[in-house]
Amino acid sequence: MARLIDGRAIAEKVYVDLRREIAELKAKGVTPGLAVILIGDNPASRAYVRSKDKMCRELGLHSVKLELPTSTTRTELLGRVKELNRDSGIHGILVQSPPPEHIDEAAIVRALDPHKDVDGFHPENVAKLVLDDPSGFVPCTPLGVQRLLTETKVEIGGAHVVVLGRSMIVGKPLALLLMQKNQNGNATVTVVHSRSRDLAKIIRSADIVVAAIGRAEFVKADHVREGAVVIDVGINRVEDSGSARGYRLVGDVAFDEVSKKASAITPVPGGVGPMTIAMLMANTLKACRQSL
């Protein structure tokens, strides 16, 4: 039976350090500020934005939550982003993804001040990730995955990591992060996706499997080598008439069967999710520090 990687407990450890740093900044008269923009009424996005705002408040950060209607135009949205770029009380800006279809996400991301881009989606920050330049921002979920591995003392250097999924938010930046030439990198990374041939064979050769494809319980026991470490980034809502909400959350990994074979595994919920928010808070403090 696999060891459970407790994301909530590891996130708490991160918050101990963050609280100390926040106190130091406040002693200098500086309060880190984060603005989160939500367009439309996607229920999952609303829930994420609520958690981010709540965590800011718990830590004593300045939090601005902008909830805009689905009808918001690209021009209006760009106007709001530019206002926040100029606002000296705001150190980090996040536009919740995915926006409604008529909004060009790439254009919004390019409009962000890269020094406030705590999601690490701006081309300047993507370039810094590729160039191993630590001054840039790295997307929060990949950072959270890396931290889960290092806190669990899983050796990343030299390991074969198979990442399932090539998204801008998780798969691609995670692959770049884990192959960086530094103490928490040096992995051999393979990225597989919906068009990959021999998917199962490739995943079976992994020391570390990271599932980020957004398909409920896609990774089965026979995909995973005995003793592999399994990180599940998926958060899928599946219908469940037995639950009060009408749905339950499951990951991209069939937890019950895979946990019998893996040496360590993250649960859903309570694995990667809490770490993503902790890394967003950490990136906001980094943005604040760099602005001084």
Q: Does 95 bind ligand GUN (CB under 6 A)?
A: yes
Pick the catalytic residue from 6, 26, 41, 52: 52
Of 117, 119, 232, 252, the catalytic one is 119
Residues 6 or more apart whose CB falls under 8 angstroms from that of 45 comprise 38, 96, 97, 98
Give min distance, CB of 260 to ligand GUN, in A: 30
The answer to whether 138 contacts ligand GUN (rule: CB under 6 A) is no
Maximum pairwise Cα distance, the chain: 56
- Asked whether position 169 contacts ligand GUN by CB under 6 A, the answer is yes
Give whichever of 148 and 224 is closer to ligand GUN, judged by the CB atom. 148
Please, what's the b/e burial string for 170-202 (b: 16 or more CB within 10 A of its CB; e: otherwise)? bbbbbbbbbebeeeebebebbbbeeeeeebeeb
* In the chain, beta strands by DSSP E: 3-4, 33-39, 62-68, 92-95, 160-164, 188-192, 208-211, 229-232, 236-239, 247-250, 264-265
82 flagged as catalytic: no
Q: Minimum distance from CB of 159 to ligand GUN (Å)?
A: 24
Q: How many CB atoms lie within 10 A of CB 79?
A: 13
Q: How far is the CB of 44 from ligand GUN (least distance, A)?
A: 8
Q: Is 85 a residue that touches ligand GUN (CB under 6 A)?
A: no
The least CB distance from residue 51 to ligand GUN, in Å, is 11
- Binding residues (CB under 6 A) for ligand GUN: these are 94-97, 119, 140-141, 169, 276
Which amino acids are annotated catalytic? 52, 96, 119
